[in-house]
Amino acid sequence: MWSRIPLLRLILPYIAGVLMAYGQGLEANNYLLWIAAIPLMAGGIFYGILFSYRSRWLYGSFIILFMFLSGLFFTGKKESSRKMILSEVPSGEHMYLCSLDETFEMRARSCRGKVRVISVCDSLGWHEMHADMMLYTEQDSSLLSVPAGTYLLISADLRELRSPANPAEFDYKEYLARKGIFHSAYLKKGQWQISDHAAGFDLLRLADGIRQSLLAKLRANGIRGKYFGISSALLLGEDSQLDADIRDVYARAGAMHILCVSGLHVGVIFLVLNFMFGILKRIRVGKLLLPVLLMACIWSYALITGLAPPVVRASCMISFFILGNALGRHKNVYNTLAASAILMLLFDPYVLFGAGFQLSYTAVLGIISLQKPISNLLYFRYKLTNSIWSITSVSIAAQLGTFPVLLYYFHQFPLYSLLTNLIVIPLSSLIIYAGILLFMMPASSIAAEAASWIFLKLIGIMDAGVSLVDRIPYGMLEGIYVDLPMAILIGLIICCFSAFLIGKQKLFLIAGLMSLMVFSAHRLNSNYLRQGQKIFIVYSIRGHSAYDIIQGSSHTFMADSSILASEGKLDYSIKPFWLEKGLDAPQICLLPDTKIPNITGSRIVIWQDKFPHCHPPRERLKLDYLILRGDCPFDPEDVFQWFDPGLVIIDSSVPPWVKAPERDYRFWDVRKNGAFLKD
Predicted pLDDT at 48: 56
Cβ partners under 8 Å of residue 318, min gap 6: 266, 267, 270, 298
Q: Distance (Å, rounded) from C-alpha 495 to C-alpha 574?
A: 34
Give yes or no for a contact between 189 and 141, defined as CB atoms under 8 angstroms apart: no
The greatest distance separating any two alpha carbons of the chain, rounded to the nearest whole angstrom, comes to: 102
Percent of the chain with pLDDT over 70: 88
Range scoring the smallest mean pLDDT among 131-140, 300-309, 484-493, 555-564: 300-309
| pLDDT reported for residue 28 | 60
- Residue 513 reports pLDDT greater than 90: yes
Report how far apart, in Å, the C-alpha atoms of 231 and of each of 72, 144, 223, 360, 626 are.
42, 19, 8, 22, 54
pLDDT tens string 252-298:
888 888 887 777 778 878 887 877 777 777 777 777 788 888 888 88
- Three-class secondary structure of residue 230 per DSSP: helix
The strand pair at 643-650 and 621-628 is best described as parallel
Quick: pLDDT tens for 436-482: 888 888 877 788 888 889 989 999 999 999 999 988 888 888 888 99
The answer for residues whose C-beta is within 8 angstroms of residue 492's C-beta and 6 or more apart is 511, 512, 515
- Tell me: pLDDT of 514 over 90: yes
Q: What is the pLDDT of residue 39?
A: 64
* Residue 1 confidence (pLDDT) above 60: no
- pLDDT of 34 > 60? The answer is no
List the one residue out of 239, 230, 199 whose CA is nearest residue 105: 239
pTM of the model: 0.84
Q: Please give the pLDDT value at position 51.
A: 56
Mean pLDDT for the chain overall: 83
Does the pLDDT value for residue 626 go beyond 60? yes
Residue 453 CA, chain-centre distance (Å), reads 35
How far apart CA 514 and CA 523 sit, in angstroms, is 14
DSSP assignment of 433-492: HHHHHHHHSPTTSHHHHHHHHHHHHHHHHHHHHHHHHHTSSS-EEE-----HHHHHHHHH
Q: Does the pLDDT of residue 38 top 90, yes or no?
A: no
The Cα 344–Cα 353 span in angstroms is: 12
User: Helix or strand or coil: residue 375?
Assistant: helix
- Smallest CA-to-CA distance from 67 within 22, 24, 6 is with 6
Mean pLDDT (whole number) for 149-162: 88
The predicted model gives 56-68 an average pLDDT of 74
Which has the higher per-residue pLDDT, 225 or 665?
A: 225
Cα distances (angstroms) measured from residue 228 to each of 220, 435, 442, 563: 11, 12, 19, 33
- pLDDT digit string (tens) for 373-427? 888 888 888 888 888 888 888 888 988 999 999 999 988 888 888 888 888 888 8
Is 31 a residue whose pLDDT tops 60?
A: no
* CA 462 to chain CA centroid, nearest Å: 26
**Average confidence (pLDDT) over 311-317:** 82
pLDDT of amino acid 329: 63
**For residue 22, is pLDDT > 80?**
yes
pLDDT tens for residues 167-208? 999 999 988 888 888 889 998 888 888 887 655 666 767 777
pLDDT of res. 659: 77
Angstrom distance (rounded) from CA 296 to CA 291: 8
Helix axes 417-440, 203-220, angle to 10 degrees: 90
Lowest model confidence (mean pLDDT) among 471-480, 583-592, 595-604: 595-604
Q: Are 261 and 310 in contact (CB under 8 A)?
A: yes
pLDDT interval class at 579 (50, 70, 90): very high
CB 231 within 8 A of CB 223: yes
Give the mean pLDDT of 316-329. 79
DSSP character at residue 611: P
Question: Does residue 530 register a pLDDT over 90?
Answer: no
How are beta strands 604-607 and 621-628 bridged, if at all? parallel
Is the model's pLDDT at 47 over the cut of 60?
no
Q: What is the mean pLDDT of residues 51-72?
A: 72
Quick check: 44 pLDDT over 80?
A: no
CA-based angle 292:294:298, to the nearest 5?
120
How many CB atoms within 10 Å of residue 65?
Answer: 18
Cα separation, 40 vs 451, in Å, equals: 61
Output the CA angle 138-567-659, nearest 5 degrees. Answer: 55
Whether 619 has a pLDDT exceeding 70, the answer reads: yes
Question: Which residues, in sequence order, are CB contacts of 229 under 8 Å at separation 6+?
Answer: 239, 241, 242, 243, 246
* Residue 122 predicted with pLDDT over 90: no
State mean pLDDT over 104-119. Answer: 86
- The residue that leads in pLDDT, 112 or 54, is 112
Q: Please, are residues 6 and 56 in contact by the beta-carbon 8 Å criterion?
A: no
What CA–CA distance (Å, rounded) separates 162 from 171? 9
Bridge partners of residue 133, in order along the sequence: 115, 183
Of 72-81, 94-103, 151-160, 341-350, which gets the smallest average pLDDT? 72-81
